[in-house]
Amino acid sequence: MPSSRSIRTGSESPGSAHRRTVVANVGSTARANGPAAAGPDAAGAKKLGRLEVRLSGSGGQGIILAASILTDAAAQAGWEVVNTQSYGPEARGGASKAEVVISDEEVDYPEATEPDITLCLSQAAFDRYAPEAKAGGLVVYDSGLVTPSEVDGVRLVGAPFTQVAKEHLGKVVVTNIVSLGALTEYLDPISHEAVEVAVARRVPPRFKELNMKALAAGRQLGRPAKTSA
């Protein structure tokens, strides 16, 4: 398992407006134990620098779990990674977010300032976070829930994540895993194997097969859009 530390800030009292948890996973620990690395130890690996990913949506959409899985996968692939989670009573029905910063060096600042990739699973999340995407960056959104507006200098890609989860997999609750599967098509530094290991580690065994199907369905949604880039 990757080594980790947790830092809590903000009010912990019931009904508090905001709470944040920062979890840092040190990828160097995982390199000896994880799956075949796509990270800095891989033959011919390119320098990654700093890659910022922001996942956003409404409370209850599983954003925190998806970010935790991505964090585990990045650590298993050998990268340094920090996961910042924002949540609280105001998040349900509103815009909530989780951020994952991946690097080949120790992450000196844990929050995303110019996200390279932004996932938006609700209209409120798109309206709030899409304009903050990095120039030249990518915003991936749920085409069944979001009516996108143009964002200067940013590529927009829509896919029916919720529809696929509900109609093809029979469980809207795995929308987060479907969307994570699509994101992995744009995250070359993280192997599919590392993501699968992280999913299996985070979900109950009886739901493993469903979540693996959701991950595969998401990859299918992400591949055509990536090819057309």
CATH top-level class of 18-38+46-227: alpha beta
Q: Which long-range contacts (CB under 8 A, 24 or more apart) does 220-223 make?
A: 220/181, 221/159, 221/160, 221/161, 221/164, 221/178, 221/181, 221/182, 222/140, 222/159, 222/181, 222/182, 222/183, 222/184, 222/185, 222/186, 223/185
pLDDT (tens digit per residue) in 14-35: 344 454 545 555 554 444 344 4
pLDDT of residue 12: 36
Total length of the chain: 229
d(CA 139, CA 116): 8
Q: Name the pTM for this structure.
A: 0.82
pLDDT of residue 33: 42
pLDDT of residue 30: 43
pLDDT of residue 46: 57
DSSP string for 169-194? SS-GGGHHHHHHHHHHTT-TTS-HHH
d(CA 26, CA 95): 29
d(CA 70, CA 43): 22
For 131, other C-beta atoms within 10 Å of its C-beta total: 13
Per-residue pLDDT of the chain (229 residues; tens, 9 = 90+): 454 444 343 433 334 445 454 555 555 444 434 444 455 544 345 577 899 999 999 988 999 999 999 999 999 999 999 999 886 555 555 678 999 999 988 998 889 999 999 999 999 999 999 999 999 999 999 999 999 999 999 999 999 999 999 999 999 999 999 999 999 999 988 999 999 999 999 999 999 999 999 999 999 999 877 666 5
Q: How many CA atoms lie within 13 A of 74 on its CB side?
A: 33
Report whether 82 contacts 105 (CB < 8 A): no
pLDDT (tens digit per residue) in 56-78: 999 889 999 999 999 999 999 99
* Per-domain boundaries in the chain: 18-38+46-227
Q: Distance of CA 203 to CAs 68, 85, 92, 162, Å?
A: 11, 19, 22, 19
